Amino acid sequence: MDNNKGIAKRLFFPLLLVQNQSTAKIMKRTVGYPMTLIVSSLVLGNCHKGIDFSRFPSQVIANDQVEMKVYLPDPEKGLYRATRFDWSGVIGSVQYKGHEYFGYWKPTHDPTFHEDLTGPVEGYVEPGLGYAGAKPGEGFIRIGVGILEKPDEPSYEWMKTYKILDHGKWEISHGEDWITFRHEIKSDFGYGYRYTKTIRLKENGFFIEHNLQNTGEKAIETDQFNHNFLMIDGEKSGPAFKISFPYAVSTKDNLKGLMAIEDNTLSFLQEFNKDNSIFLNLQGYGEKAADHEVTVVNTRSGAGLTFRVNKPLYRMAFWACQTTLSPENFIWLSVGPGEEETWTSDYTLFVEANKP
């Protein structure tokens, strides 16, 4: 257990753990029994009227400046039950100095659909551990999800929700201003891991700390990325936003007349409507970790953030639709049997001077 004041309990689905922050009592849910939820008053934007988010297990952590809502993994009642993204650390809301930075970006919600969740949220573009060698009906692993069944298909389909054969073992613990997820998977086809993710608030933002231990017999080789799903103050994607990098950025993709690049800055040329979207692979970064940094600011409200990761970029992309914009930052993980890899994402929130 972390050297933090909090609670920890070994969990097997369908159990989840929630701590009441004022009394530190443990409340546990099993199938058929009610679960006490800590429901945030945080607003998740205005594009999802009619969706009751209070029914999804969640946890609020806070300090004097920052308040965050985090959704908890649950195969029966969780906000997200698809297989594209890591189930741990799905951040539903972050408020700082009266500004909202994230939220739910769609008008409808299906927990088993690949993109129906909030961000920041992390995932993997690579199909999964053991996918290439698996026969139809056999298992492969998506980190942070579990062991999935490979169907008879010509190639992996990232938008598909696969059948989950084994959810693995989860442990969740938290204090007032941090929450830790631990996920353990063992398989009979050579792969295994113990994955720990801690979200820890700081005075003006938060850290996402990762540790991946390879407990299997085969090496873990995979990308890992964050699909940030920014919704700063509910502003639609458009000229109010500026996205900047510590290098001269470029792309070979079509900007569609929707966006422009000037030196190190990506900007919108028009406000997006419901039919607009764009995806760009970005170039210009080097091999040093100092290039793994992105700043996004809503110039209308003055709220912005900078995120950094202490590993070099493997790939950098950008996606946006009308309601959200997502710098997608990738690293590469290569973890041999018995080895481990650690990395940290550092989010710093700010509000520009002379803004509300």
Which pLDDT value is given to residue 105? 94
The torsion region of residue 127 among left (phi > 0), alpha (psi -120 to 50) and beta comes to: alpha
**What is the distance between the alpha carbons of residues 170 and 86, in angstroms, rounded to a whole number?**
13
* Shared domain check, 86 and 27: yes
* Shared domain check, 208 and 247: no
* Shared domain check, 104 and 211: yes
* Shared domain check, 305 and 222: no
* Shared domain check, 182 and 211: yes
* Shared domain check, 116 and 20: yes
Q: How many domains does the chain have?
A: 2
Question: Which of 176, 200, 226 is at the close of a domain?
Answer: 226
* Shared domain check, 207 and 253: no
Where the chain has pLDDT below 70, the residues are 1-49, 355-356
* Shared domain check, 327 and 220: no
What does the pLDDT look like over 266-312, one tens digit per residue? 999 999 999 999 999 999 999 999 999 999 999 999 999 999 999 99
* Shared domain check, 298 and 199: no
Q: What is the distance, to the nearest Å, from the Cα of residue 289 to the centroid of all Cα atoms in its chain?
A: 20
> Residue 94: inside a domain, yes or no?
yes
* Shared domain check, 336 and 244: yes
The arrangement of strands across the sheet holding 340-351 comes to: 10-12, 169-174, 178-186, 192-202, 205-214, 340-351, 303-309, 293-298, 241-244, 265-268, 259-262
Domain containing residue 213: 10-124+168-226
Distances from the Cα of 294 to the Cαs of 77, 184, 204, 208, 348, in angstroms? Answer: 34, 31, 16, 15, 11
Which pLDDT value is given to residue 17? 46
Question: Which of 187, 205, 226 is at the close of a domain?
Answer: 226
> Residue 131: inside a domain, yes or no?
no
* Shared domain check, 270 and 173: no
Instruction: Enumerate residues 6+ apart whose C-beta is below 8 A from 291.
Output: 245, 246, 247, 285, 312, 313
Question: Which of 180, 195, 226 is at the close of a domain?
Answer: 226
* Shared domain check, 252 and 204: no
> Residue 290: inside a domain, yes or no?
yes
> Residue 4: inside a domain, yes or no?
no
> Residue 356: inside a domain, yes or no?
no
| Three-state SS annotation for the chain | CCCCCCECCEEECCCEEEECCCCCCEEEECCCCCCCCCCCCCCCCCCCCCCCHHHCCEEEEECCCEEEEEECCCCCCCCCCCCCECCCCEEEEEEECCEECECCCCCCCCCCCCCCCCCCEEECCCCCECCCCCCCCCEEEECCCEEEECCCCCCCCCCCCCCEEECCEEEEEECCCEEEEEEEEECCCCCEEEEEEEEEEECCEEEEEEEEEECCCCCEEEEEEEECCECHHHCCCCCCEEEECCCCCEECCCCCCCEEEECCEEEECCCCCCCCEEEEEEECCCCCHHHCEEEEEECCCCEEEEEEECCCCCEEEEEEECCCEEEEEEEEEEECCCCEEEEEEEEEEEECCCCC
> Residue 2: inside a domain, yes or no?
no
> Residue 85: inside a domain, yes or no?
yes
> Residue 296: inside a domain, yes or no?
yes
